[in-house]
Structure 1
Amino acid sequence: MHLSKYFILLSLSLFLSNCGDSNTSNKTGLSINTTEKSLMLGDTLKLSINNPKKLEVSNVSYELNGKPIENNMVLNNMSLGNKTISAKVKIGDETQTITKSVIVYNNTIPSIYTYEIINTFPHDISSYTQGLEFYNGELYESTGQKKESKLRKINFETGEVLKNIDLEDQYFGEGLTILNDKIYQLTWQAKRGFIYDVDTFEKLSTFNYGTSKEGWGICNDGTTLFKSDGTEKIYLLNPENLTEQGHIEVYTEKGKIPSLNELEWIDGKIFANIYQRNGVLIINPKTGGVEGVIDFKPLKKLVKQHPKLDVLNGIAYNSERETIFVTGKNWDKLFEVKISKR
């Protein structure tokens, strides 16, 4: 039960942030009590009202994030992270609402995964890789930096650029994903994304972000788009109108994992690069719980060392070969790997 041991073992420094719970203050002095200081998935949520003034309470009803719940509810089949518990307390003819903020953590320690290099292929060393994805056996890449951002189709075996368009100078390209013959490409801080025809690279439309702060990574499960914004949150987007339909928060049993970057959907899980770290998380898309950690740090030593060399970023699953392809920002190599649980 010591998460720090495998982070040290892997030399993978993840940011773990813990936040305390809080109650709203009110003139009656009422507050919500939970029996557990730290709530985890699978715990029973036992609630009571702290009533220091001994007021005559005739009825109490509870809600979790606006939805009615019963006391002694088991925290199953729900997303992790910040939650608000509300209590409607009836005192005489009046009803007062009080709230308490809590955090729900994951209830399992992530598994450790190792990898085996199957093949090494050339990669354009000038590409500041932001997004990488296979579609119908072809590899597509989105690159960043203002005045250098591109959308590309690449022969992954030779590194040859088969198709390329440059983004306008003001845009900093970020992640990409492909669904129903449409490429969805993010930009960083412009709060705007682009949609292209996968065959012609013709720009079909643009879309604006919702409450998500920035554009970092994006992937899809065949129905829904999943978008990261550099925080611990992954937003669910409707591919038809690009509206945000909610979000999950990525947590271990110790705390949240911010700086989520490039995303890839692999066998029902979200794989996420962590910005400025050379590791990848395996995330449950329903709960946000981290189920696995892959340390790719040794790969950086296998590429050409040069002043612009940056961190690992770019992960793509080839379903035909059942392998994962990874690279980094300004890396001269693309690695084909197979992962396995330690």
Structure 2
Amino acid sequence: MRTFKLLTIIFLATFILSCGSSTTQKKNDFTLVTNAKNNALALGEALNLSIKNPKKHTITSVSYTLNGETISEKTTLENTKLGEQTLEATITFDGETQTISQKLTVLNNTPPKVYTYKIINEYPHDITSYTQGLEFHNGDLYESTGQHGESKLRKVNYKTGEVLKNIDLEDAYFGEGLTVLNNKVYQLTWQSGTGFVYNADTFEKTGSFKYNKSKEGWGICNDTKTLYKSDGTEKIWTINPETLSEEGYIQAYHSQGKVVGLNELEWVNGKIYANRYQKNGVAIINPTNGAIEGVIDFSPLKKQVTQHQGLDVLNGIAYNPETKTLFITGKRWDKLFEVEIIKE
């Protein structure tokens, strides 16, 4: 019960039955029937499929797919991405072929683990920075800030707060998340549909890229091979760093439903850490299937910075591989917290 209450505080009611309509789609003569209550099943559960054939056609064959992958009429949901997926049945009968489809929502089979933290150090942070992205590279802290007319890309000495390098974005752009890969900085903008690429040493702009289906830019991180991008929904998109094209996505789900508003992202020991916009918690996400495996409640941190009119929410997660600790800040916070994560 305590775990459920904490999750409610952090993620607000968890979007139970964000699974879509339970109405089965019909096409021509057949209906696809499943054992999924409200069109939702959890990992590890068995999916049973059958065809309703009210006109008594002579069916020659039936084949099933889940997101294009062939499955049998009785399939255990393992190694499956979470979230809303597409079921299809292809029926051959009387010399004809028909395909029918419907949505299936796959939930995680365990609730997230709950973590707290211990503050190790506090460092100065620019109170005017509307922090959007934060990441370590070669011992320095790279930061992207937002707001039209205020957006910047910076390299900072995190111990002193000294700005080592800074460039301002054009007023038309609202800066968002950033990540560094192969000595390139990838910086997102919010609603302009555009991201920028810079040399990590000189901040020379070397390229740009357009979003596709993801529409908006929120947070971004990388696993040394792939870029992961959030867009304010439950989706985290995978981007090829060479072609800068979106190649797919995962959906962030736990055992009760989806979590939207995923914002700043950080890659930490094989997992994606993501804070939810306007909340002071961080979700720990499996990058393979989208399962929210843990949550960290950082809500007390906001009370430990200077309280002022422009103070806003937590929005800055950076993992320092040298110290193996997390660094947390927020929008217009005057402190950067180095923390150790503790499992309750």
Q: What is the match of residue 34 of structure 1?
A: 34
Deviation of the 1:53 alpha carbon:
2.9
Q: How does 1:298-313 map to 2 (within 5 A)?
A: 298-313=300-315
Contact 1:149 1:171 in 2 (8 A): yes
Shift in alpha-carbon separation, 1:299–1:153, aligned structure 2, 3 A: same
Deviation of the 1:304 alpha carbon:
0.6
- Alignment match of 1:82 (pick from 69, 84, 109): 84
Deviation of the 1:233 alpha carbon:
0.1
* Aligned-partner Cα distance in 1 for 2:138–2:76: 42
- Alignment match of 1:159 (pick from 158, 161, 166): 161
Q: What is the match of residue 26 of structure 2?
A: 25
Deviation of the 1:54 alpha carbon:
2.7
The CA deviation string for residues 45-74 of structure 1, in whole angstroms up to 9 with x for no partner, is 211112233332221111112222222222
Q: TM-score by structure 1 length?
A: 0.96
Deviation of the 1:11 alpha carbon:
5.4
Shift in alpha-carbon separation, 1:44–1:50, aligned structure 2, 3 A: same
Deviation of the 1:2 alpha carbon:
8.5
SS in 1 for 2:26: coil
Q: What is the match of residue 99 of structure 1?
A: 101
Q: How does 1:216-227 map to 2 (within 5 A)?
A: 216-227=218-229
Percent of paired sites with the same residue: 59
Pair 1:185 & 2:184 matched: no
Q: How does 1:53-92 map to 2 (within 5 A)?
A: 53-92=55-94
Q: What is the match of residue 130 of structure 2?
A: 128
* Aligned-partner Cα distance in 2 for 1:93–1:313: 59
Moved over 6 A (4+): none
1:319 counterpart letter in structure 2: P
Contact 2:10 2:279 in 1 (8 A): no
Contact 2:186 2:198 in 1 (8 A): yes
2:172 counterpart letter in structure 1: Q
Q: How does 1:273-284 map to 2 (within 5 A)?
A: 273-284=275-286
RMSD (Å) for aligned C-alpha atoms: 1.4
2:35 counterpart letter in structure 1: T
Q: What is the match of residue 197 of structure 1?
A: 199
Count, aligned residues: 340
The CA deviation string for residues 232-289 of structure 1, in whole angstroms up to 9 with x for no partner, is 0000000001101100000011000000000000000000010000000000000100
* Aligned-partner Cα distance in 2 for 1:3–1:255: 16
* Aligned-partner Cα distance in 2 for 1:319–1:5: 33
1:183 counterpart letter in structure 2: V
Q: What is the match of residue 15 of structure 2?
A: 16
Q: TM-score by structure 2 length?
A: 0.96
* Aligned-partner Cα distance in 1 for 2:252–2:311: 28
SS in 2 for 1:147: coil
Deviation of the 1:128 alpha carbon:
0.1
The CA deviation string for residues 154-188 of structure 1, in whole angstroms up to 9 with x for no partner, is 01111111100000110000000000000000000
Pair 1:150 & 2:161 matched: no
* Aligned-partner Cα distance in 2 for 1:257–1:3: 16
Unaligned runs of 5+ in 1: none
- Alignment match of 1:210 (pick from 209, 212, 220): 212
* Aligned-partner Cα distance in 2 for 1:71–1:14: 34
Q: What is the match of residue 231 of structure 1?
A: 233
* Aligned-partner Cα distance in 2 for 1:214–1:272: 16
* Aligned-partner Cα distance in 2 for 1:271–1:21: 32
2:108 counterpart letter in structure 1: N
2:15 counterpart letter in structure 1: L
